[in-house]
Structure 1
Amino acid sequence: MKRDIREFFTALSVLRISRTGKVAIWATVGSMLFLATAQQSAYGLDFPMTTRLALPDSKNLTVSNNPPAASLASQMSEMAVVAGISQQVEMAREMMGAKKVAKAIMNTDYQWGDDQYACLNKLWTKESHWNYKAHNYRSGAHGIAQALPAVKMEVISSDWRTNPVTQIQWGLRYIDLRYDDPCTAWAKWRSHRYY
């Protein structure tokens, strides 16, 4: 590392650059060094450099070389769940992916069939074209289901602005609680232009 830095400065000193050019280069180098040391991290998150482990004082502690299999299995299971959810969120950012995610949630959580999905597809195509970033500036409605006010989606999760799966889950829950099924909500939309 030190050798690389030394080579960099040696190469920099050999270059024939005007006085103003040198000032600009050194100002850039200085500002980069400042930013590298002043910022906590690239995203402003503060991660500890060391970890402390506090163990209780006890005479009955034993040392085992065998890793706890149950703990490892549960951690791997949790990681698989997180990976599946992340994949679902990324897929739902596109219209076709959002439709697939909504259909899967409808089937597993509400036992609604293809006829209900057809109504939901028509409804949310009219409302937002399945765009999780859709926002009605006149009314303030937001997301795939056009929640009004949008903060209602915090019932599901606080990431409703950026997570299309949260919006889909909220929209399906809203339809279930208010209309019982998507076809009834679609009938309401056809007669009133809102649901």
Structure 2
Amino acid sequence: MLDNWRTLGMRGTGSNDVVIDGHIVPEAAVAARRKAGEWHPLFQIIATTAFPLVYSVYLGVAESARDIAIATAKRKTPDQHAIQLAGRMDTELAAARLAREWMLAAVRLNAPSAATVNQVMMGRQLVARHAIAAVEYAMELAGGAGFYRATGLERRFRDIQAARYHPLQSGPQAQYAGSMALGLPVDRVY
């Protein structure tokens, strides 16, 4: 049964069945079970394969923001400050691309495990950090025009912020990576 069934609009029926928005899911139809607060091997598959896809979207948001900022900056003669901002932005974007490639390398291993989850989650942190920084530089490079809806940059700035909030967030990811490095169990790190 799910840990957070109350928050998902689910409630127990008194038996082991679960009600979801007026529909009963018989206990026999639940394909995977896990102990509350523990990783299930299915989570290793999901984390290893899904997160590179999700963070590819955030990378795309950052790439789009970069293109908008460059087009906006080219409307004026760039000064040294603008040139440096463009360089910093592209460097952050390159770091986000490298981190995403690190995540995809874990997928290509086709061996979901605690180690591949660790690799993907480290990549997830790095893609988020560098994609957010790239979009921040894009906003700065575009200047005041970046805040107008017509440019589309303010929306990308808002959208990229969500990259911070997927599991494993910064603290749990550091705990997971540190536990792996020290040979400690990770089955209860969320």
Point out which structure has higher relative CO (alpha carbons under 8 A, 6+ apart): 2
User: TM-score, normalising length from structure 1?
Assistant: 0.23
More strand by share: 2
User: TM-score, normalising length from structure 2?
Assistant: 0.24
More helix by share: 2
